[in-house]
Structure 1
Amino acid sequence: MSSEIADTIAAAVTGIPGVASLHAGMFGEVGTYLPGRRVVGVRVTESSTDIHVCIFADAAVRDTALRIRQAVSGLVTGPVNVTVEDVVGRAHDA
């Protein structure tokens, strides 16, 4: 797998409304290791792609997961598995 695909997937996912961030999983196990760095929340194998995210509390979970799956499906072959690891509030200006 090329490093470009992990970066492309990460950019596509974080650009989706409702996605707060990518998430490395409960034990930090979800990620793509690249020379000198790691793309958390994205794991691409020959058989599937796993995406782990945090979404905003006001986002519809199913709709957001569907948008993620649709965006990533156009970039990879095989099934795309989306896991919502956490739901977070939006930061408010003080």
Structure 2
Amino acid sequence: MNTFGLYIKQLRINKRLTQSEAAQLLGKDQQGQYISNIERGQSVPSIEVLKKLCEIYSVQESEMTQEYMNLCHRKVSKKIKSEWERCASSPSGH
């Protein structure tokens, strides 16, 4: 489950913006694909985009940063677990 994407989506919905409108405010494509990709977990926004989203969605940077850090932590944890399991299952053990 992509909780960061859901968080971003809920912020957008609370502001009564479509994905296209949010993308336009960010200066991204007008079709909303950029926002859709973030909300579905297909892409991770840059820090610059996160700052702009804070302004657009009227959210404290500290709140957005915490949500973003949680996402990064989950991604790193998943990668480490995957690597650990791969190494553990290899014949040499590393």
What TM-score range do you get, normalising by the shorter chain? 0.3 to 0.5
**Largest Rg, 1 or 2:** 2
Higher normalized contact order (CA 8 Å, seq sep 6+, divided by chain length): 1
TM (norm. structure 2) is 0.36
Q: Which has a greater percent of helix?
A: 2
